[in-house]
Structure 1
Amino acid sequence: MNAQEHSEARDAATGVAGPASRQRRHGLLLGVGLAAAATGAGLAWWRFSPRNEDAQALAQFWSSSFESPQGEPLAMAAFRGRPLLLNFWATWCPPCVQELPRLNAFHAAHQAQGWQVLGLAIDQLASVRSFLQRTPLGFPQALPGAAGLALVRGLGNPGGGLPFSVLFAPSGQIVERKIGELSSVDLQQWRAAL
């Protein structure tokens, strides 16, 4: 019996782990730890990243019509064929309110090049009307009502957080989306994407 075999036999008999046994155990624990970390990271990415849109939700969006704050129907199909920046917001949402002037400026600067901006307020009609009187916006607004949160989730925001923005190509397909406030840099990058 060589020295290593003798050491391993003694360790087995006494229940004490020797260097070779410890090395194997450390390697095994390291492998298990890395696998757990990779699984956790993958699960977190899957849970917190915006989902790919469901074809049914996309078709439902384009076939929908929502009421404007003035009480007129606004058909989503009318926005197809040109780039569309869709923004879900609410009057009670501080980041939503903060980004609206930025979206309004983007609309004013790029509408001549065919860009469209549409706001869908997940809010009460009276609150939206009051807000728009204090802060007029140059781009169209509509209120999707109870279907609004289902639409938000269907377009790739499973948690339903606001603000939520989606960039549609002229074909009607989603190109970009963001949960949270859009920055000026985001808007420049989205404009360059089309």
Structure 2
Amino acid sequence: MNRRQLIIIVAISLLALLGGVLTSQWIYKTGLASDPAVKAFFANSWQTPDGKTVNPQDWQGKVLVVNFWASWCPPCVEEMPALDKLQQEFLQKNVLFVGIGIDSPSNIREFLSKTPVSYPIVIGGLEGSNLSKQLGNSQGALPFTIIINAKGKASYSKLGKISEDDIRSEIKSAL
């Protein structure tokens, strides 16, 4: 292979790499939840593990960090202390974390008795799983976290265990 062919191959490789990076950013941005999906989230009737009704309208106008989780999901359980810490850090800044348990009320109650958190936990069940898919969780896997800004627009989503620094940065961007 001569020098000219090598330069051409390197140039094509760099263009392909650049195209992949730009495309992945475009896919990420278009993968955010649509306005109707966010409206469905706020229109849903949520209940706490002890059966009390929660009015999601009370959450509007805040930056919401919504985390879909289950007690049987190791990465979900591992990230809860970080979520709790961040809720405390942003408590006075109009930020609210909400955990949506994709689990039975009894399992969630038992889990929370051993691992309490300072943010609200509601029961998602099958409807919560469907809603997470509407909000951008195409795989339906857990954990899944979405940030909804104070204007009711999705600004970030993450499938898999969160990074405390990433969530902190995304919250600051949404404020």
Aligning the two structures, in what range does the TM-score lie when normalised by the shorter sequence?
0.7 to 0.9
Q: How does 1:43-82 map to 2 (within 5 A)?
A: 51-82=31-62
Which residue is 1:179 aligned to? 159
Contact between 2:147 and 2:171, CA under 8 Å: does it hold in 1? no
Partner of residue 94, structure 1:
74
Task: Pick one of 127, 141, 148 that aligns with 2:128.
Answer: 148
Residue 157 of structure 1 aligns with an amino acid whose one-letter code is N
Q: Please give the TM-score of this superposition, normalised by the length of structure 2.
A: 0.81
| Two-structure CA RMSD over aligned residues (Å) | 2.4
Higher relative contact order (CA 8 A, sep 6+): 2
C-alpha distance in 2 between matches for 1:114 and 1:45: 31
Q: Does the 8 Å CA contact 2:65/2:97 hold for their aligned counterparts? A: yes
Compared CA separation, residues 70 and 164, structure 1 to 2 (3 A): same
Task: Report deviation, 1:191.
Answer: 2.4
- Cα shift readout 1:107-128 (whole Å, capped 9, x = no counterpart): 1121112211100001111110
> How far apart, in 2, do the equivalents of 1:133 and 1:110 lie?
24
Query: Does the 8 Å CA contact 1:64/1:77 hold for their aligned counterparts?
Result: no
- Letter paired with 1:187: I
Unaligned stretches of 5+ in structure 1? 1-29
Q: Which structure 2 residues correspond to residues 80-159 of structure 1 after superposition, within 5 A?
A: 80-159=60-139
The percentage of counterpart residues that share the same residue type is 29
Instruction: Give unmatched runs, 5+ long, in structure 2.
Output: 1-8
> CA offset at residue 74 of structure 1?
1.1
Q: Deviations over 1:137-177 (max 9, x none)?
A: 11000002221111011001111111111111111111111
Q: Following the alignment from structure 1 to structure 2, what is the Cα–Cα distance between the partners of residues 191 and 58?
A: 17
CA contact (8 A) 2:98 2:120 kept: yes
- Number of equivalences: 158
Q: Secondary structure at the match of 1:146?
A: helix
Letter in 2 for 1:78: D
Q: Which residue of structure 1 lines up, in the alignment, with residue 145 of structure 2?
A: 165
List structure 1 runs of 4+ shifted beyond 4 angstroms: none
Give the Cα–Cα distance (whole angstroms) in 2 for the partners of residues 135 and 52 of structure 1: 30
